[in-house]
Amino acid sequence: MDTNPVSLLGSAGLWVLWILTLIAFGVFAWRIYQLVGLLRKGRYEDRFDNLPQRAVHFLKHVLIQPRIFNERSIGLPHFLIFWGFVIYATCFNWALVRGLFPLLPVPYPDEVPIVGLFLELFSVLVLVSLAVALVRRLFFAPPHLHLSVDANLILALIGILMLSTVYGSAFRVVTEGGEFNAWAPFGSLLAKAFSEATPQTAHTMIAAAWWVHIITVLFFLVYLPYSKHLHLLASPFNVFFSNAATRPVGSLNIVGAKEDMTAGASKWEELTWKQMLAGFSCAECGRCDRSCPAATSGSALEPQQIVQKIKQHFVSVGLKPPNGTPKLIGDVIPAADLWTCTTCMACMNCCAVWNEQVPIIVTLRRHLVSQGEVDRTVQDMLGSLQRYGNSFAKSDRMRAKWVQTAGLKIKDARKEPVEYLWFVGDYASYDPRCVDITAKTAKVFAQAGLDFGLLYEAERNAGNDVRRIGEEGLFEMLKEKNQQAFAKAQFKQIVTTDPHTYNTLKNEYSWNGNGVAVKHYTEVLDEQIQAGKLPLKKKLTGRVTYHDPCYLGRYNGVYDAPRRILQALGAEVVEMPRHRDKSYCCGAGGGRIWMEDAEKVKERPSESRIREAVALENVPTFVVACPKDIAMFRDAIKTTGNEGKIVVKDIAELIAEAMEG
Amino acid sequence: MANTILILAEQLRGSLSDITFEMLGEGRKLANALGVPLYAALLGSEAASLAAKLGAADKVFVVDNASLNMAPANTTAAALKAVMDQAQAGLVLIGGTNVSMGVGAVLSAKANLPFVNYCRAIRADGGAVVLTSQLFGGKILTDVKLTDGKGIVSVYPGAFQADAGKSDKTPAIEKVEVSVEAPKVTFKKYIEPETGDVDITKQNVLIAVGRGIQDKGNVELAEELAATLGGAVCASRPVIDQGWLPLSRQVGKSGMTVKPRLYLALGISGAPEHWEGMQGSQCIVAVNTDPKAPIFDGAHYGIVGDALEFIPLLTDKVKARKG
Amino acid sequence: MNIFVLLKLVPDTVEELEIAGDGKSLEAEVLRFKQSDPDEHAVEQAILLKEKCSSKVTVVALESPEVDDALFTALAKGADRAVKLTGNLINAQSFAAAQMLANFLKPEGASLPADTLILLRGQSIDDLEGEIGPFLAELLGLPYVCVVTSVVPEGGSVTVMKEFAGGLRGEFAVPMPAVIGIQSAEKPPRYVPFAKIKAIQKTAKIETVDVTPPDSLTRFGVERMYKPEAVGRAQMLEGASEEVADKLVEVLAKNSLI
């Protein structure tokens, strides 16, 4: 199909094509220039490290997209639409260049039989995928999927592209005599319907299909950066620059920042460029919202909306500052929404474009904290941490009182060298519901022959949740105090009770290359059991279910150690529907444990979780590996009226039982 | 010179406060022990008519002067100093209440005498007077000995029985003319207590919630228990400051004084300011996670545990019992 | 306005209080100090006033352990100036402290500016005299109102709300200069992020002013200091929560409360 001989409304086709192309690419380039300009106004952070690792991450998650498949109905269709798009985009550019330069000694892509076949095959696959996508949107839309006209328009445009390909092919078959052409199977089939058409008509129709195709693509090109399909341009970069490619997701450290980030962001320019890129990358698919315990329990927080609202805000304000610019926090995003996040990582764990919602929320919280806008209960807790180094407003001298109460003798790691420094944490040290379990854990450690010791009153809250509340300065202070205490103690490894503590010690503390391994007690005890060092006197029987703590599982990938322990004890582990990386947060994380419930709670996350466990057949034991879970779930059993049906036990309690014989 | 004992009779809006009788009762005992007379001072033009009720005193000095109505501490103290001189008083007892706070300190400066606050017990020791005061919210007690029996004492409300200070006798009354400088501070108006839905002073059963209640939502749990027991919910200051309950539900020094048949204190540690408002309750039951909470020192029944856990449990049990 | 807030740290009662060997004081070794709640409210009230009408807020404290933290915190909250009075005055009772503060606020021969407002706690839990406000007011010849929960400036005076009892409150007009004993600020004290305090510690300075202590820091001595015996300790209901609830229901029934 040559553009030369074609005349559109009296103008030579070639000129029309040139003009349309220049306009479309011009508008596209201008828009991209604008958007990149906005990103450049954001704060700097270094995401250019470890390029090979990033490349691998990119290859896997852009080209294969395993996360798309975590929702089956749309997984394959999206995959096909994506690859269809890639192939079509390539061929389009090929066809366009050929059209713009008619003298080039190359054929059009659809004139190459093998390419034509591919285009046909994909256009049919994509059409089927589009049908699936459309039916899903219209009739089976999952909650939180953003049902915009925008999305439907794009589906329609893609449909037009595919149809124009098949029609073009059909009329080409007609011009060739209508015989079945193995390189154009669908075109041949369709050609039968047009067998009566004159060659003249067929030629015109080929031209029409070509122009429809090209004009649609050019329109698409202009429209794309103004629509949610910007994700198609931005998300590959987003995946490439994601933190997960190179470092643990459990770290909130910002690398290479040129400004002080302690006070967070109150304006869009105070976000980092990468945090802004999230908005361009979001495909509005709603996966994050569907997995979010806050959104599910009826709170106004929707991780997707946070990302989207930020984007809409900075695109409109950044390009054309209106009078009385709305405030990012307050007008655009209500502060109350930010406080309902439990930082459970469910959203980031399922985001197909690898957005980082939790750090954005924490960044905004930091601003609120810097202004002193914090819940009274959280204020009291932060005050207590400033003063006593624990969240219980108890004297730091009382931290190891449980040792005394239980009549134990435990080494003081500040006075004698130990293999393991046991970082007990606030809840396990102070909470009256937890101290008995802590004492049992100590006995299990001792019987397992572990050489361990404590920091006693020198231990401070590790600061994981303080940091996620947004009190960065206090986190730094606590970290510094702990590191001073570490420096005075002699140990080779650290074992923690609390997964939250575990996360920050492991991922956010600097160990100056000392090679200190930070382990959760389930990891250590698993090792001991595997090595045959734990004298188990009796086999436990019965079915149990295990709740993966967010900060152990999703944050740090520890899923198997606790399950191996349970199996070694003889228990049959029955999984809840939401387990391992799909585990459902208890609602305590990110400082939520100190906050009031939002006004309208449909069902607290912990209650939903207990109902999930109770629905399992004949499972009377709910096993946890986090002191906060003890508090949260024992409460939830009461509020859901499930006393007597299920009990919450720490995994250490079960081990102690098995060791007692 | 006789070292008499003088009491500042406290009154608010035309009626005498409990603290007045508490001081009269204890003052009477002390005066008898020391063998000195007990006097009362009644200040202000609205107060003169109340003198007859102060029969526990040997004599009532009345300063009938409108400038002393709702007067600030220094004006009151200046007038009281004049009465003190007139009565040849060595020991002056003043209520440690919001109404009288400040008077004692100023008087002690004017009279150049020691000022002892937070007094919970007074005894004669020969000619001396030994005062026991509480410090640190009741965690520590201290004894101070006034060897010459002279001093200004601020008496902790509720430390003594009010009934002991009520008498049918008619006291002698002496009017004292005092020139009172017009106070710089002017009283403008009363702000009435927020009229709540319930009057907690009239309830037989009160469910009191404190800081341990943790969040506003949990107040509902307490409401349910109160409904089951046929009472109302009240609170200590921290809960009111949070805005979880209206001011009309506050029990304690700045709030209401209540004397229900049952006072169930949930998550209340028992700070003296709170204790002051509910110590007269017939049966006090306290639930607190801290076994050392001071509330257990005064309650009739104590339960160490989490109030939040306990409330729904108790509600169910009571419902079951009632059938 | 020219606002002064007078701070004093009190022993932290979260820690165990021990009686010293002399039986008349607390064991200093284990004592830790903290800002008292009423002091925090006084600072908050001052900052609220500053936000409403431009004022200069000066926080003043007598030298004592850990007092710098409290002064820096007040600066971080928005106070303009922090002053620490030094000299050998750690054990000063309220009257002596008031004398030193009065000398600082109004040195011999000077006079207080007409728009001066002195805010402080109504009572301190750690001192037998327990009230510094009335002493200071008496020494400076200023009006004093205490148990105040709101302060509204109106021309040359402030309208304050004083709490009586039973929820009854009264409104008073107090001409400035004046001393006001704060019970609670109009809003709960604000949170200051730790980074802000750290930053202030680097940039701001605490002025120190040497004062001559009065002849005597105390006006009377303590005969004995001791911990109260738990008299009339509650009868404890013990057992599992179910059991305890049953026991309590029995008690209620016995007292015909159900």
Q: Give domain limits for chain C.
A: 2-210
Q: Quick one: A515 and A600 in the same domain?
A: yes
Confidence band for B202, pLDDT divided at 50, 70 and 90: confident
- Asked if the model's pLDDT at residue A134 lies above 90, the reply is no
pLDDT of residue B196: 63
Look at residues A192, A207, A233 and tell me which one is the last residue of a structural domain. Answer: A233
In a domain, A578, yes or no: yes
Confidence band for B1, pLDDT divided at 50, 70 and 90: very low
Q: Quick one: A104 and A247 in the same domain?
A: no
pLDDT in tens, A58-112: 999 999 889 988 887 788 888 888 888 888 888 888 888 888 888 888 888 878 8
Give B310's contacts in chain A (Cβ within 8 Å): none
Q: Quick one: A445 and A321 in the same domain?
A: no
Q: Quick one: A218 and A292 in the same domain?
A: no
Evaluate whether C60 touches C46 at the Cβ level (below 8 Å). Answer: no
Evaluate whether A619 touches A647 at the Cβ level (below 8 Å). Answer: no
Q: Which amino acid belongs to residue B7? A: I
Find the angle CA(A82)-CA(A87)-CA(A90) to the nearest 5 degrees: 125
Domain C2-210 has CATH 3.40.50.620: yes
CATH number of the domain encompassing residue A81:
1.20.950
Taking residues B112-134, report their average pLDDT: 94
**d(Cα A292, Cα A282) in Å, to the nearest integer?**
16
Q: Which long-range contacts (CB under 8 A, 24 or more apart) does A17-23 make?
A: A17/A96, A17/A99, A17/A100, A17/A214, A18/A100, A20/A214, A20/A215, A20/A218, A21/A96, A21/A100, A21/A218, A23/A218, A23/A222
**d(Cα C67, Cα C46) in Å, to the nearest integer?**
19
Evaluate whether A343 touches A362 at the Cβ level (below 8 Å). Answer: yes
Look at residues A370, A395, A418 and tell me which one is the last residue of a structural domain. Answer: A370
Q: Quick one: A323 and A388 in the same domain?
A: no
- Asked if the model's pLDDT at residue A168 lies above 50, the reply is yes
Look at residues A182, A212, A233 and tell me which one is the last residue of a structural domain. Answer: A233
What is chain C's mean pLDDT, rounded? 91
Q: What is the DSSP string of B33-57?
A: HHT--EEEEEESTTTGGGGGG-TTS
Q: Which amino acid belongs to residue B322? A: K
pLDDT of residue C231: 57
Q: Quick one: A320 and A420 in the same domain?
A: no
- C163·B98 Cβ contact <8 A: yes
Taking residues C233-256, report their average pLDDT: 85
* Smallest CA–CA distance from A593 into chain B, residue: B214
- The residue range of the domain holding A266 is 239-370
Question: Is the Cα dihedral A563, A569, A572, A577 positive or negative?
Answer: negative
pLDDT in tens, C20-70: 999 999 998 888 899 988 899 999 999 999 999 889 999 999 998 889 999
In a domain, A1, yes or no: no
Give C233's contacts in chain B (Cβ within 8 Å): 296-297, 302
- Asked if the model's pLDDT at residue A18 lies above 60, the reply is yes
State the smallest CA–CA distance between residue C230 and chain B in angstroms. Answer: 6
* Smallest CA–CA distance from C96 into chain B, residue: B109
In a domain, A102, yes or no: yes
Give B243's contacts in chain A (Cβ within 8 Å): none
Instruction: Output the CATH code of domain B200-322.
Output: 3.40.50.1220
State the smallest CA–CA distance between residue C25 and chain B in angstroms. Answer: 9
Taking residues A552-560, report their average pLDDT: 96
Best of A387, A457, A635 to substitute, by most chain C Cβ atoms within 10 angstroms, is A387
Question: In terms of pLDDT, which residue wins out, C222 or B202?
Answer: C222
Q: Which amino acid belongs to residue A407? A: G
Q: Quick one: A459 and A591 in the same domain?
A: yes
- Asked if the model's pLDDT at residue A1 lies above 70, the reply is no
pLDDT of residue A243: 92
| C193 vs A370, A395, A397: nearest CB | A370
Q: Which amino acid belongs to residue B208? A: A
pLDDT of residue A599: 60
| A394 phi and psi angles, rounded to 5 deg | -110, 160
- C236·B296 Cβ contact <8 A: yes
Domains B4-175 and B200-322 share a fold: yes
Residue B57: other Cβ atoms inside 10 A: 30
Region of A519 on the Ramachandran plot (φ > 0 left; ψ -120 to 50 alpha; else beta): beta
| B188 vs C173, C188, C249: nearest CB | C173
pLDDT in tens, C91-133: 889 999 999 999 999 998 888 999 999 999 988 889 999 999 9
Question: What is the number of structural domains in chain A?
Answer: 3
Give A397's contacts in chain C (Cβ within 8 Å): 15
Q: Quick one: A511 and A614 in the same domain?
A: yes
pLDDT in tens, A436-474: 999 999 999 999 999 999 999 999 999 999 999 999 999
Evaluate whether C165 touches B12 at the Cβ level (below 8 Å). Answer: yes
State the smallest CA–CA distance between residue A371 and chain C in angstroms. Answer: 8
Taking residues A321-337, report their average pLDDT: 85
Interface of C with B in 163-202 (CB under 8 A): 163-175, 181, 183-184, 188
Judge residue A256's burial from the number of C-beta atoms within 10 Å of its C-beta, 0-12 exposed, 13-18 middle, 19 or more buried.
exposed
**d(Cα C191, Cα C178) in Å, to the nearest integer?**
28
- Asked if the model's pLDDT at residue B190 lies above 80, the reply is yes
Taking the domains of chain B in order of start, what are their residue ranges?
4-175, 200-322
Residues with Cβ within 8 Å of residue A577, at least 6 apart in sequence: A612
State the smallest CA–CA distance between residue C90 and chain B in angstroms. Answer: 18
Task: Give pTM, 2 decimals.
Answer: 0.86
Q: Which of A402-411, A548-557, C210-219 has the lowest mean pLDDT?
A: C210-219
**d(Cα A205, Cα A190) in Å, to the nearest integer?**
13
Give A266's contacts in chain C (Cβ within 8 Å): none
Best of B139, B214, B215, B287 to substitute, by most chain A Cβ atoms within 10 angstroms, is B215
Instruction: Output the CATH code of domain B4-175.
Output: 3.40.50.620
Instruction: Chain A: list its partners (3+ Cβ pairs within 8 Å).
Output: B, C
Best of A395, A595, A596 to substitute, by most chain B Cβ atoms within 10 angstroms, is A596
Task: Say what percent of chain C tops pLDDT 90.
Answer: 64
b (16+ CB within 10 A) / e for A383-400: bbbbbbbbbbebbbebbb
